[in-house]
């Protein structure tokens, strides 16, 4: 079976990572315009670099949770693609081998002149993952986080759409489905295949299509899907 899984911030909450939205989210402390836009980086690159340095330090102390592990374990019997809005590497660390990062990857840096130039994308060596003003990409420009910021195109959307069009099952975990273009991925899922939504909070998907809703956290919800539907 070909299983496509879309994960959002709720997937990593159980590992202790802060969400960006909602009460107590990172955007409460750091205005999105300052740390997650090209304009913010141009205005104060040192602030932006340190914001992501802190996120990496936090990630280095974080472990995948049972939900990540259950998703990775599906690869033993199924063809699985994970489409994630998260920039952490917890899916990979749990063992998932086919992960599409729609919003970039926290542990990587890239050219500030051309963020989509893959020849300039670098994986930061753990545990030395801090970057600073003066650190240069291969093209000579200032290194910046390999993150898709607000106002930038999402280069891997086409890959995600192709994966969904070929799926036999679609599972959505821990995302409000409010952030586009990722929220529009549901429109590309073949009609008639089972769709599951795992989230302890209510997600407004009424009128879209028939969806099995599981009002649980990522780990409990994935366990229910594995036990009852796979």
Question: DSSP string spanning 2-37?
Answer: EEEEEE-HHHHHTTTPPPSSSTT-HHHHS-HHHHSS
The answer to whether residues 33 and 39 touch, using CB atoms and an 8 Å cutoff, is: yes
The answer to whether residues 34 and 45 touch, using CB atoms and an 8 Å cutoff, is: no
From residue 53, how far is each of 108, 131, 219 by CA, in Å?
Answer: 11, 7, 28
Cβ count near 191 (within 10 Å): 6
What kind and span of H or E run contains 225?
helix 218-229
103 is catalytic: yes
Q: Which of 68, 91, 101, 103 is catalytic?
A: 103
Among 226, 173, 178, smallest CA distance to 200 is for 173
Catalytic residue annotation: 103
């Amino acid at each position: 079976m070909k299983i496509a899984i879309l994960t959002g911030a709720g997937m990593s909450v159980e590992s202790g990572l802060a969400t960006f939205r909602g009460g107590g989210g990172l955007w409460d402390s750091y205005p999105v315009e300052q740390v997650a836009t090209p304009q913010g980086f141009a205005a104060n690159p040192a602030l932006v670099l340190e914001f992501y340095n802190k996120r990496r330090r936090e990630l280095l102390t974080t472990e995948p949770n049972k939900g990540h592990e259950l998703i990775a374990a599906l690869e033993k019997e199924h063809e699985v693609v994970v489409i994630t809005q998260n920039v952490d590497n917890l899916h990979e660390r749990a063992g998932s081998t086919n992960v599409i990062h729609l919003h970039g990857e926290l542990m990587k840096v890239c050219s500030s002149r051309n963020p989509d130039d893959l020849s300039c994308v670098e994986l930061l060596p753990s545990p030395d993952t801090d970057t600073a003003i003066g650190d240069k990409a291969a093209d000579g420009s200032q290194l910046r986080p390999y993150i898709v910021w607000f106002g930038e195109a999402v280069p891997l959307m086409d890959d995600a759409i192709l994966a969904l069009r070929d799926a036999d099952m679609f599972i959505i975990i821990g995302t409000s489905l409010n952030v586009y273009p990722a929220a529009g991925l549901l429109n590309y899922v073949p009609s008639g295949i089972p769709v599951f939504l795992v989230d302890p909070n209510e997600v407004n998907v009424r009128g879209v299509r028939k969806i099995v809703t599981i009002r649980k956290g990522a780990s409990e919800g994935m366990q229910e899907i594995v036990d009852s539907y796979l």
